[in-house]
Structure 1
């Protein structure tokens, strides 16, 4: 039997735009570990990520000094900084076979891995077995069947949240959007959903806040800026009990000391944090 050996120096994460150490909630991943930290690697993608704190890194690929960074260097910084998760944003990491190998190696090193994946893109289902957290990004008001398939494979096995960042301002589409939101929340009642509206005006936010709160009840968070998420109260998605409150507009301060709702026992958080953090942070990191 042939044994394949490899050096971490020779395995690269390609087209890296920037790396940051930041509050997990700024990914945005709200319920993984409130107050926790993430070493976040942003990989170039042609898709605009308005919801990312690093959205200034959008534009033509030629405009950036993109880097291919060895896995060895990334792991060295990970061990130095000791974040709660290594998170990959952009680059369609769950699509390509070479990315599958990267995820597999990281899991062998007992690294906790999170990935944001735009649901309309192809997905290598085998890659899903190596991640701890999945942020499903929805840029088109469709793909509910595809989301249904992915969640049926993963629910209860890893931490899942949704980010919806393509709510149109076209008045002629309001009825369709309302029906789509209703269907989304009815199909996935136990998955927390974030609606990114920070690029919309106050009137638009107020209108859709009314719609979303009525159709999704306690399942939702609306992002109105990078440092303000509403509502301030954080409810159990299962029974509606208030289990936390936001501080600094973003960070969730839980009222419970474990991962589950004290009223109904539903698992809310993936982990709890020993750090009682009261401010969000975002720091660019050199690797």
Structure 2
């Protein structure tokens, strides 16, 4: 590995070349850890199309999920900034689709969050509000709120985010976001705090910033939940063992003001169904 001047270093892993922070504690809260690869000896067949591997049909591992595929089912090379890869890496069809969707967040919405928006901020149950500019820090780890005072909210310490809407739309379409409620624990404290952030004069710009923050919350929840993935061993009737990675994702609920309408984000929880299963045991 070699160090570079901006506090990051190049690391070569089996999956490819990565640019990561020199101090592991300074990882972006949106980052995902590299998955453990399913060992070659434990995947005699493609985990998508069930093609049997041989001297001609080689095994390939998806850099995002770690599962084992044939070339046809894992042929796409797609950028994966959430794992800090320098170059596009090989991914299965499902993972490459997810990575392509996330590219919009890094290409467009991160820029909106970095530029910031103008809001009126109220702390806790206080009746005093303050005009502040809210923006994401350059390292993506904090929300900075600047006005007469300065506040910093570490994204990893946000416990919930509720999007507030105006409840109406001039065109009769979806409601426009005009604020949010943040619940978080300040560094060094276990006491939860609340911030109410409401759009100031430029409603359109504020709505775009809040929409970007909504997407950021989705990625944040997914990154946190990565540690809840576990492995299951499945014994098929033919006597072979296959290691399956099953992922569980928490549900993010975003509440609208007034009616408190709930919008739920649910990510797929995949399960393998197979006849001739004689024995199942789960680890973790």
* Higher fraction of strand: 2
Bigger radius of gyration: 2
> TM-score by structure 2 length?
0.26
* Higher fraction of helix: 1
